[in-house]
Structures are given as structure tokens and as C-alpha cells.
Amino acid sequence: MGFSETNKLKQLSLDFGCNIKKLSYHFLKKRIKKNEGFSIKPYSDKLGFFTIGFGHLILPNEKHLIKKKINKKQLEKIFINDFNKALNEFNLYLRPITFNKKDSELLIEMIFQMGISRVLKFKKLLYHMSNRNKHLVCFEMMKSLWYKQTPNRVKNLIIIFLKK
């Protein structure tokens, strides 16, 4: 086998691996979209921040999203960027600690909703998660400000988290 054939096989396996990885997040993306809801028009969230699409926090440099009419296709792209940002932050800040699939998905959704800086403040939750103590993880979720702000979402995530 020549050099170019070996490179083609490596690239093919990399492409195949990437496709599998993307597919594995399909249901998580779907769940996040459902939990976030959708609005084509900007609205003020529970904390008073302007939000659009699938829970995208409009940043100070994105004021055009408030004034300009945005279509669903553009908001889909924003969602994908937000999801990829949450996934990258998970990999950068939390991946070294070995989490199982359910743990990882919960953390990625938390990062999507709250941002990495707030998730990193859940020190006890992360500790209990790394020690595989599901019930204490759920306890930490329930006693958080996050739960007080979005109780239905957190309750649903607890149910999913506790399923085998």
C-alpha cells in the first residue's frame, strides 16, 4: 500500500469516527432544543437577558439579532455554534475527569444553559459525579439556584439521569 492510499484510509477512518461522534449527540441536541424552546423573536429570559432561537443569549456584540429579522435557518446555525461551544468547553474543562455518557450529556446541557463558569461552581455535584454517586448528584441539582430558576427542566434531567 502506497503513502497516498494509507493517508486516504486514515482520513476515511477519521471521517467515519467523526460521523459516529456527531450522531451520538443527535438525541442530546434534540433534548436541549426541546428544553430550551424556540422563539424567532428576541425575548427576555427569566433573568432579564435577551434571548433568541433555541435559548441563545444575545451578547452585547450581537445587538443586530434584536433589530434585524432572523430566519429559522440562521437560528439553527447559531444553535449548532452554541452546542459546539458547550461541547468544546466540556472537553476542555471537564473531559480529563472520566464521565460516562449520561454524566457527559448532563454536563454538556448544563454548560449549554448556564455556561462553563457557572457549571464549574457545582463542585460538590462534580465530586459526586466523579465518585459515581447518582443520588448525591441529584441532591446537588435540587438544592441549586439552577433548580429554583428552571425547576421543570432540572426535574426532567434528574429523571433522565437516574434511568438505567
Query: Which pLDDT score, from 0 to 100, does residue 24 have?
Result: 65
The pLDDT value recorded for residue 32 is: 98
Cβ atoms of 83 and 62 within 8 Å: the answer is: no
For 85-104, what is the mean pLDDT?
Answer: 89
pLDDT for 19-69, tens place per residue?
Answer: 334 446 999 999 999 999 999 999 998 888 999 999 999 999 998 898 888
Nearest C-alpha neighbor of 48 from the set 156, 153, 119, 149: 149
Measured CA to CA, the distance from residue 70 to residue 3 in angstroms comes to 47
- Please give, one letter per residue, the 3-state secondary structure of 122-148: CHHHHHHHHCCCHHHHHHHHHCCHHHH
* Contact indicator for 54, 75 with CB cutoff of 8 Å: yes
- Contacts with 116 (C-beta within 8 Å, 6 or more apart), sequence order: 86, 89, 90, 93
Q: Which of helix, strand or coil describes residue 98?
A: coil
What is the overall mean pLDDT for the chain? 87
Note the pLDDT tens digit of each residue in 97-114.
778 999 999 999 999 999
pTM (two decimals)? 0.83
pLDDT value for 153: 97
- DSSP conformational letter for 58: P
**What residues does each domain of the chain span?**
70-162
Q: Which of 6-10, 87-91, 122-126 has the lowest mean pLDDT?
A: 6-10
User: Domain 70-162 maps to which CATH number in 3.40.50.1240, 2.60.40.420, 1.10.530.40, 3.40.462.20?
Assistant: 1.10.530.40
Query: What's the one-letter identity of residue 93?
Result: Y
Cα–Cα distance, 88 to 77 (Å, whole number) = 16
